[in-house]
Structure 1
Amino acid sequence: MYDLIATSTFGIESITAKELKALGYEDLKIENGKVTFEGDEMDIAICNIHLRTADRVLIKMAEFEAKSFEELFQGTKKVEWSKIIPKDGIMHVVGKSVKSTLYSVPDCQSIVKKAVIKSMSESYGIDTFSETGPVYKIEVAILKDVVTLTIDTTGPGLHKRGYRELAGAAPLKETLAASMLLISRWNDEFELIDPFCGSGTILIEAAMIAQNIAPGIDRNFVCETWPSMSGNTFDIVRDGARKSEKNKDIKLIGYDIDYKVIKVAMENAKKARVDKYIQFQKRDFMEFSTSRKYGFIISNPPYGERIGEKEILPSLYKHMGNMKKKLETWDFNILTSFELFEKTFGIKSTKNRKLYNGKIKCYYYQYLNNDKIKNMGDLLINQLMD
């Protein structure tokens, strides 16, 4: 068994933890940017393939205090790296240091690499390593003089599902889009509209959730090349995931004023195998109307990061607020960095939480219709357990 870490963007750790609980994991430890739990090789495969909101799955090799380079070296050397890394493993060390005595990240990386080599040398009885085999990315993370050493099992981040080779000018990460859906109270019984759909990420993630399509099912992971991983572990998990996929009748609609962007969204949906579940339309939100009594708007509208956007934001957000007043029984969930959003929208949000879209600090404003779905709770999380 390993101590595993599912890393996540700041603000969604609790959502990642709920996902892990839905997958059957217990004794979770939630901290800033990560959730720690126990698991084996099969669990590494399950989490990489099934987690929608996590960034990576790491193996925690050690945790200890170090205020000097000697303490860092000795603490790293004690780790039995040879249990995971073979003689020909490529040992790539990255690092970060926050509020710690050892603040020079390049020096810390160098010390850790030397200590790993020393440990490996004692285990294998050799002095030099070819480093021509599989890749092992080792991270030394130091926070307030506490060192955490990990090995990354994922490779390219989990947001890289494989369906979005094409994206708009300000793409929303797939993991953040999934988080927005899981935070909202949407479930597939209700119509979902993204009036600023861009490359279609929110709607594609919604379709994948509704149809129980595992987000990592169509990609590979770096640990699949490791000799310590059983050859068919990932194949077993992928086969099980494919057998549990659904084919529900759902109503997902995306608008954008740019037809070229709509074409990109349609192509992305096709690559994700969910194009038949989503209607993409070239349409201006200013012309939006609906006869449905209940529904959800979940969107990441323009918020002034691009040239020429700031001038249109007040009228756009004011119109959105007026639309919410007309659609009293609809839920609106809006992610934006625009600081005057609530004032411009004209309605105080039911809830809001701070989230990061890349390095941009945003707030996720939720306008909930409490009379519509009483005691709904976390239906989407429960849906993942079906």
Structure 2
Amino acid sequence: MTDLETRPAPPRADALRRAAPALLGFAAVRALGLVALALWSGARGTSAHTLLTARWDALWYTRVAGLGYGYEVRLPNGDVHSNLAFFPLLPWLERLGAAVTPLSYADAGLAVATLASLAAAWGIFAVADRVHGRRAGVCAVLMWAVLPVGIVQSMAYSESLFTALAAWSLYAVLTGRWVTAGALASLAGLTRPVGAAVVAAVWVAAIASFVHDRRAPAADGAPAWRRALGMLLAPLGAAGYVLWVGHHTGKGPLGYLDVQAGWRNGFDGGYAFARFVGATFTSFPSALAGVGLIVGVALVVWLYVVCVRQGQPLPLLVYAGVVTALALCASSYFGSKPRLLLPAFPLLLPLAQALARLRTPRSAAILGGVAVASAVYGAFWLNGSGPP
């Protein structure tokens, strides 16, 4: 139902036992992906460890952990790439991990991502199990694991950490734990700019709950002050960092937008992405890629429409909608859009439901085949020239 209906969560021990098949399956898929990456990298003479911990965004995060903010690179075309574009929670955890263990910043980031990916898988299961049942929950986790860009879940990137915080914040909303939901949303806002999607989900759900209470008091059994406190906590992380960047750069509250502009990144409603797709039709080989992009975007939009038609809970619809809009309507880094969509796990729930209706051998065969293809693609992708 799109109207918010909350009920208490099960005891933690029972919840872990219930999620165990999903977590074991997720770990197996991730192990397969890492084996494929190691074999492919070994054949090419590259280091799988370096690809996972010390290239592209992972390198920027470790620089923040080791050097703090203020590092920037000036490109020949005049663009300025500042590490202020990267939100601080992952670097903080990398620094903490390196302080309390023998790990380097990079390896601490990999450890954080590994643990966070398991937490994310558990959170996705908890949400899907609550909405559609245990079997659909297992299928949702496995489908998230076998996504073509699933190898990012094993990198020292912030996607796994963000997805874990987002999933558990949404679960807290669904179970009426508003203060927890707000606190986790605040942490998500310290992780990635798309933390705004979690904040929006908490706020819209809380407002809907207040409106529902006017018709039927105490709809979720939570005192109004808890919902209000959750709403207050939710934006603190993102707002705090953005305001700090503005103060640090001397450019005021919107200084973070200037930082993103230095990376040629912003929100243009999808205009630049549409131009990029259109430009692929200038030759036959690239036209095939253009068709693939159009099909991919159409699939994402169709899945969201199905989510709405199936009556997913309101916070899931708001969260998935904002994540999708921010990913598709950003003005740069078009090759990274699949990765930016990785946290939008509610889009997978209709497919998880369909898979859950199949007999176990058939669903296992489908997931197994897709897992192998995803592992091979991930190894190929990371050994390519551009960032994921």
Q: Report if TM-score (shorter chain) is over 0.5.
A: no
Q: Higher relative contact order at CA 8 Å, sep ≥6: structure 1 or structure 2?
A: 2
Q: Pick the structure with more helix per residue.
A: 2
Q: TM-score, normalised by structure 2?
A: 0.29
TM-score by length of 1: 0.30
Name whichever structure is richer in strand by fraction. Answer: 1
Structure number, greater radius of gyration: 1
